[in-house]
């Protein structure tokens, strides 16, 4: 019997439908005797607790004594759910076991990533399956994509390394999280309410650290006063006005802060500048600039966008994106860390653009689609840069958007418009740079005029950028109408919001000073597209972070944790 092993019930239903087994539903799986589709419920297995390896941890008053730590398993043990405490998970594991015993071949049909591979293969190894295996690869849950995946499966050995990587991640989490949590808690009992723990985690702790660090920077911030100079100019022939801000000479800047702070020097410079009644153009350049559309959405980019636009948490964005993928079949796999697409999928563009038009069926989308060219290939189409998953894009599933909830519609709209942008003209503008010399100092000015909105028309928040400046030429003189000083103060950093925190987790190397460690982590970030939302939710549930509007703020418990860490 060929057995398809899926990650969740809805996934199994879609695979069973593609195989023609939808009407062969049993209690916990689909089967016609020759083929079967069975599902897990996420991870049906869990790693054994520290007490399994060190029984003394559970005995009497010893508890989590640091003398018993660290616990480093020599032979790792996985466990099934307790049939008395979690009968549903245990029963489903038994369904998997029964079918694996009958299997002549297993098809891994879980999500196409490290976690999905681990969910399937850990069950195969736990229940002793050693026969042949295949890997089903797909990014969309619509019937056409699944049938295509059934005809292009890989040998299971080709993706086995994803399982090894998944085990490495799980064991690293266990070793760090279990040992550090036990050590911190047992060493700091006096500061804790009875029954509470100081929880640490390989990703969780850096998240708490970043939020605490940011708030400490805000609390300890001492503003630095500094000065700027502005000038207003007029082109005498046409009376056109423009302004510039002084490029301050190095000798006026404070050595420690790099700011212009000395009041006496401010006074001296102002008096000098006011003697200049005319300014001379020392630089004038006008260049037409062209801007390509942004890449497709990865999950973290989509989460950041939804946080800014709709106030969604990372978890909510993932839940909505998952529903668009799994339930409505309108978008591709959401847990992607990539904004690129395989060029082989470029041929689907006309069909997808037509489906978008059909699904929305409104005048606004019709106008946008009228400005697309399905033959135009943006930088998003780059096979070499596609990782385990391509960008999140619309599918060819036909469904009116009126069937979606408001949140689903908002996210689907973002994904569709980002896809449309790839087939729209570049944004074009004219950039002007001017430098005006007054006495001995330079006042730079920049101008911008939009020529063609191009792909920016697909984003209602994008506006034409127009800051007009007169046409000038090098050596020309202009009138100086006013020069004034402006006193400002340095400002503290802003409290974290979820979109900014997500960006820092993706770019965690910014906070790493050790060059060797920075090279190791490269562009990987901390956490994954699939897990960051859960980590953020977890630190909130554990009482380390609280929300105030869009702000993420540390609790007293978070400050205490960072102090002892």
Closest CA to 420 of 455, 471, 460, 467: 455
As a whole number of angstroms, the distance between CA 563 and CA 198 comes to 11
Cβ neighbours, 10 Å, residue 451: 13
Instruction: Find out whether 262 and 254 touch, Cβ atoms under 8 Å.
Output: yes
Both structure tokens of 472: 């000038």
DSSP per-residue codes, 431-466: EEEEEEEETTEEEEEEEEEEEE-GGGGG-TT-----
As a whole number of angstroms, the distance between CA 198 and CA 189 comes to 9
Residue 346 phi, psi (nearest 5): -65, -30
Residue 241 phi, psi (nearest 5): -105, 150
Quote the DSSP letter at residue 297: B
Closest CA to 336 of 171, 174, 530: 530
Closest CA to 121 of 105, 138, 133: 133
Both structure tokens of 255: 């050595």
Q: Which of 163, 259, 333, 544 is catalytic?
A: 333
Our answer to whether residue 333 is catalytic in this structure is yes
Instruction: Find out whether 40 and 120 touch, Cβ atoms under 8 Å.
Output: yes
As a whole number of angstroms, the distance between CA 12 and CA 17 comes to 8
As a whole number of angstroms, the distance between CA 171 and CA 47 comes to 9
Instruction: Find out whether 88 and 80 touch, Cβ atoms under 8 Å.
Output: no
Cα 78 to Cα 49, 81, 109, 130, 558: the distances in Å are 9, 10, 22, 18, 32
Active-site residue set: 333
């Amino acid at each position: 019997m060929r057995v398809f092993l899926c990650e969740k019930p809805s996934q199994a239903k879609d695979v069973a439908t593609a195989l023609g087994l939808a009407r062969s539903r049993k209690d916990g799986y689909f089967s016609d005797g020759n083929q079967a589709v069975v599902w897990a419920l996420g991870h049906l297995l869990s790693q054994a607790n520290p007490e399994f390896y060190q029984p003394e941890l559970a005995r009497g008053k010893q508890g989590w004594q640091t003398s018993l730590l660290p616990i480093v398993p020599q032979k790792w043990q996985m466990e099934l759910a307790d049939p008395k405490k979690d009968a549903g998970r245990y029963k489903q594991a038994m369904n998997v076991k029964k079918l694996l015993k009958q299997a002549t071949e297993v098809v891994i049909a879980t999500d196409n990533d490290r976690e999905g591979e681990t969910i399937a293969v850990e069950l195969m190894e736990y229940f002793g399956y050693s026969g042949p295996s295949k890997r089903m690869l797909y990014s969309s849950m619509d019937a056409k994509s699944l049938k295509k995946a059934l005809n292009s499966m890989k040998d299971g050995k080709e993706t086995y390394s994803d399982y090894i990587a998944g085990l490495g991640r799980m064991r690293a989490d266990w070793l760090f999280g279990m040992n550090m949590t036990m050590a911190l808690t047992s060493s700091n009992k006096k500061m804790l309410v009875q029954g509470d723990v100081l929880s640490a985690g390989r990703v969780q702790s850096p998240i708490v650290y970043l939020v605490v660090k940011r708030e400490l920077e805000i609390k300890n911030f001492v503003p630095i006063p500094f000065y700027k100079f502005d000038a207003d100019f007029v082109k005498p022939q046409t009376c056109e006005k423009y302004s510039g801000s002084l490029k301050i000479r190095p000798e006026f800047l404070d050595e420690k802060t790099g700011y212009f702070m000395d009041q006496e020097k401010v006074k001296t410079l102002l008096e000098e500048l006011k003697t200049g009644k005319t300014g001379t153009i020392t630089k004038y350049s006008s260049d037409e600039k062209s801007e390509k559309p942004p890449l497709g959405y990865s999950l973290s980019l989509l989460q950041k966008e939804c946080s800014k636009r709709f106030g969604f948490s990372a978890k909510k964005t993932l839940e909505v994106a998952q529903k668009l993928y799994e339930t409505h079949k309108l978008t591709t796999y959401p847990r992607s860390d990539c904004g690129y697409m395989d060029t082989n999928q470029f041929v689907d563009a006309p069909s997808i653009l037509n489906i978008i038009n059909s699904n929305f069926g409104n005048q606004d989308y019709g106008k946008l689609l009228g400005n697309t060219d399905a033959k135009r290939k943006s930088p998003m189409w780059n096979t070499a840069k596609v990782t385990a998953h391509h960008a999140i894009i619309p599918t060819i599933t036909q469904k009116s958007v009126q069937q979606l909830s408001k949140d689903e519609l908002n996210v689907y709209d973002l994904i569709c418009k980002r896809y449309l942008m790839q087939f729209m003209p570049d944004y074009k503008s004219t950039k002007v740079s001017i430098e005006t010399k007054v006495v001995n100092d330079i006042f730079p000015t920049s101008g911008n005029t939009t020529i063609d909105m191009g792909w920016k028309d697909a984003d209602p928040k994008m506006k034409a950028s127009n800051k007009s400046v007169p046409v000038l030429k090098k050596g020309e003189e202009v009138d100086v109408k006013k020069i004034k000083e402006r006193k400002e103060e340095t400002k503290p950093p802003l409290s974290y919001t979820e979109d900014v925190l997500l960006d820092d987790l993706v770019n965690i190397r910014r906070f790493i000073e050790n060059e060797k460690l920075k090279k190791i982590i490269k562009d990987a970030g901390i956490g994954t597209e699939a897990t960051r939302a859960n980590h953020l939710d977890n630190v909130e549930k554990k009482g380390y972070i609280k929300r105030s509007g869009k702000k993420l703020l540390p609790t007293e418990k978070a400050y205490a944790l960072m102090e002892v860490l």
